[in-house]
Chain A
Amino acid sequence: MHNKTLAELARDLKARKFSSEELARAYLARIERFNPELNAFITVLQEQALAAARAADQRIAKGEAGPLTGLPIAQKDIFCTQGVKTSCGSKMLDNFVAPYDAAIVERLKRAGTVMLGKTNMDEFAMGSSNETSWYGPVKNPWDITKVPGGSSGGSAAAVAARMAPAATGTDTGGSIRQPAALTGLTGIKPTYGRVSRYGMIAFASSLDQAGVITCTAEDAAMLMSAIAGFDERDSTCMDKPVPDYVAGLDQSLKGLRIGLPKEFFDKGLDARVGDAVHAALEVYKKLGATVHEISLPNFWLSVPTYYVVAPAECSSNLSRFDGVRFGYRCENPVDLMDLYTRSRGEGFGAEVKRRIMTGTYVLSAGYYDAYYLKAHKTRSLIRQDFLDAFKQVDVIMGPTTPTPAFGLGEKTDDPVTMYLNDIYANGVNLAGLPGMSLPMGFVDKLPVGLQIIGNYFDEARMLAAAHQYQRETDWHTHRPAAFA
């Protein structure tokens, strides 16, 4: 049963082919078997999962089940989970037991899903390889010498190795799309403001957005219907009606205008990844879509803009970790300054400290205008490019990443090289647009992803485009043989 999609599992639960408890046990057994090698989970919730599954079985028996009742999922460890350790991949929060549930956790619990555990991630979501986690790197199930991507690397590895049928993630600059691409999965980062950020540990508040990693676009649509929507506890969450994403999956793609940004196909892109994008576009043409070359002339500014905006916001957000109210505290502080600096110095890892310092520098007197204000202006230019493009096309497509998964340790010495792995992803967050990644083939026996960028709040169309591609192709059905 572990190779089934969420949609198939939901049908089987409804038809009583197996119970939610049996399903949870099957996945928990796979976690026990494969997690020691992949390190995808920080916390496994054996008892709680079985209790939730039994409660779901009762609801199913009473005929009170909703579309997600009884389905197991994994939660990224960035989401607060009441009474459960919520570490954010950091030593700083290794001892933190969340006193409340994040909005997305609350909604998925209410929908009757069964939380299997909390997934590993780059520390405070800062990384593209899952190597910055205090709990150690996650391995890519397609090749354990490769990274699974990050920061939602644990979620991606968990779903790719079928230790969970689906998982949540967050995407500040590619952290859902990039790991989904590198592990052969479907990932969606909704429009900024579509999903509540309440209870999601903040990295860069004007960029952070929660989403999901699944096997198929249909599964993503099922979960999106549960997690999207207004929440007054997140002041940037939009009060807009949520469409029925599942019902929208079959909307016709006839006449869909697909924009192909010529800047995405420049140096830096592995030509074989580019070829896979062009092959995917042929499928779309057969479905009745038209392909148009477009230009995002300020695309070259997206990564440098991102690495001013995101660290600046991170340095402010992470100032709350002071060793006083929660989180790690150093031993025997001599005075308050010593308590602050050593608790933070010892509690945070190298990449988090690097980003806090970058942010502190660009926000400091004398540099603010040259970096921070300048980046806000270039951010405007980047958004304007997308607004102009969406006057001509309905969706934008291109590669999710320039290359397939890279080796563990390969990019850890040079942060800038690591940052460039998200070159096609960062601009989407800066503009606040929705983005997806879906499997579109293999390069060197490793999966590569097709990125779809949608217009604001146009997730339904993006999901439909992904779903219908998946009806024509079988890339999303491939599984890593070592974890069959």
Chain B
Amino acid sequence: MSLSPDDVKSIARLARLSISDQDIPVYARTLSNILEFVAQLERAETDGVAPMAHPLEMSQRLRPDRVSETDQRELYQQNAPQVEAGLYLVPKVIE
């Protein structure tokens, strides 16, 4: 499995990561090595094997539908890069 510079750019775009042009070849090389390494999985015989998403055999616990959190918006927004009137600000998205 070998990734081209264009492959890396497209994965980076899907992952919402800006990658500088000078870094692309390093990512192409290291990601190709990783994918080549994990391609060993192809050699495993897995017909009829049930996939395992989670280590514990438990069903998802549900909580009662009642209010358990208090409003702490101001506290939480202290970590925000930009807020105004209780709202998170981002660049204009609608012209």
Contact = CB atoms under 8 A, between A and B. Distances in A.
A348 interface: yes
B53 interface: yes
Contact of A206 (B55, B76, B90): B55
B75 to A, nearest CB: 5
A307 interface: yes
Q: Which of B52, B54, B72 counts the most chain A CB atoms within 10 A?
A: B52
B15 interface: yes
A329 B56 contact: no
B56 A236 contact: yes
A304 B76 contact: no
Given A301-B44, A340-B16, A323 B81 contact: yes
A325 B80 contact: yes
Interface in B4-58: 8, 11-20, 23, 26-27, 30-31, 33-35, 37-42, 44, 46, 49-56, 58
Interface of B: 8, 11-20, 23, 26-27, 30-31, 33-35, 37-42, 44, 46, 49-56, 58, 60-61, 63, 72, 75-76, 78-82, 88, 90-93
Contact of B56 (A95, A192, A322, A375): A192
Nearest to A95: B79
A124 B83 CA distance: 26
B44 A378 contact: yes
A286 to B, nearest CB: 34
Contact of A354 (B14, B27, B49, B88): B27
20 contacts: A206-B55, A207-B55, A232-B61, A301-B44, A344-B18, A345-B18, A345-B20, A353-B17, A353-B19, A354-B30, A354-B34, A356-B15, A357-B31, A358-B31, A370-B42, A374-B42, A376-B52, A380-B46, A381-B44, A414-B30
Contacts of B63: 232
A323 B81 CA distance: 7
A104 B56 CA distance: 21
A429 B46 CA distance: 20
A362 B55 CA distance: 20
A279 to B, nearest CB: 32
A303 B11 CA distance: 23
A315 interface: yes
Interface in A346-367: 346, 348, 350, 353-354, 356-358, 360-362, 364
Given A304-B37, A304-B41, A354-B34, A206 B53 contact: yes
B21 to A, nearest CB: 12
Interface string A402-415: 00000000000011
Contacts of A305: 38, 41
A376 B31 contact: no
